[in-house]
Structure 1
C-alpha cells in the first residue's frame, strides 16, 4: 500500500511544471521588492536587452545586461564607485505570472542568494 501511495505521489508531483515565460520580462519597466531580515527594499527599474537603469533610495544605477539564457542574466555596473559595485550580479527568474516574476540573485561566485518579486508597471 505504501508503495502505491509513493508511486502516486511521485507520478503527480513530477508532472507539475513551474510556469516560466522569462522572455516576457527581458524588457520593460518594473518595481521590485526584496525582504532581507526585517527590512523590505523597493526599487524601480527600466530594462532593455542591453541596459538596465534602476532607482533605489533616490540613487540611480546603470548596468550592462548580459542574458545567459532566457531566464538568467548578469548585471555589470557601468561606473562603479566602490569595490561592492564592481561585483557582477547574477539573477535567475524562478517563476512568472502574467505581470510578475519571482527571482533569486547573488553576487557572481558567491553562494548566498536573496529572493524577491518584480512587477511590471509599464
Structure 2
C-alpha cells in the first residue's frame, strides 16, 4: 500500500507538469542555431520576419517564405530552390522556450524523421 500511495503521488505531480512555451517571442528577430546530426554540429545564423527568413550557413545565404500554422509551428518554403531537396517544405515546431532560447524539432513536410536543435535569439 505504501508503494501504491507513493506511485499515485508521483503520478499526480508529473501529470500536472506542463512545459511553458512563449513562442510568440521567437517569431521574429535574429538567431543563432545549432543542430547535431550523427555527431556533427551544424551552425547557422538567420533573421526572421513574419513573412521571410534569411539564413546564412557555410557562407551561403538562403531565403524562405514563412507561414505560421499557430504560435509554435511554422512551415518554411525555399524561395529559389536549387535542388529537389530544397523544393520540399520544412515544418518546424518549437518545443520549449526560455527567455533567450528555444528548443525545436523539424522535418520535411510529410516525413516522419525529425531532427532537434536549439536556437538562441541574438536580437
Alignment of 1:77-116 (within 5 A): 77-116=78-117
Q: Is residue 2:18 matched to residue 1:17?
A: yes
Give the number of aligned pairs: 122
Unmatched segments (≥5 aa) in structure 2: none
Please report how far the alpha carbon of residue 2 of structure 1 lies from its aligned counterpart in structure 2 after TM superposition: 2.5
Name the CA distance, whole Å, in 2 between partners of 1:113 and 1:34: 11
Unmatched segments (≥5 aa) in structure 1: none
Name the CA distance, whole Å, in 1 between partners of 2:11 and 2:18: 13
Name the CA distance, whole Å, in 1 between partners of 2:42 and 2:100: 20
Name the CA distance, whole Å, in 2 between partners of 1:120 and 1:67: 18
Kindly provide the CA deviation profile for residues 46-76 of structure 1, in whole angstroms up to 9, marking residues without a partner as x. Answer: 0001000000001100000000000000000
Please report how far the alpha carbon of residue 106 of structure 1 lies from its aligned counterpart in structure 2 after TM superposition: 0.3
User: TM-score, length-normalised on structure 1?
Assistant: 0.98
User: TM-score, length-normalised on structure 2?
Assistant: 0.97
Segments of 4+ moved more than 3 angstroms: none
Name the CA distance, whole Å, in 2 between partners of 1:24 and 1:38: 30
What is aligned with 2:55? 54
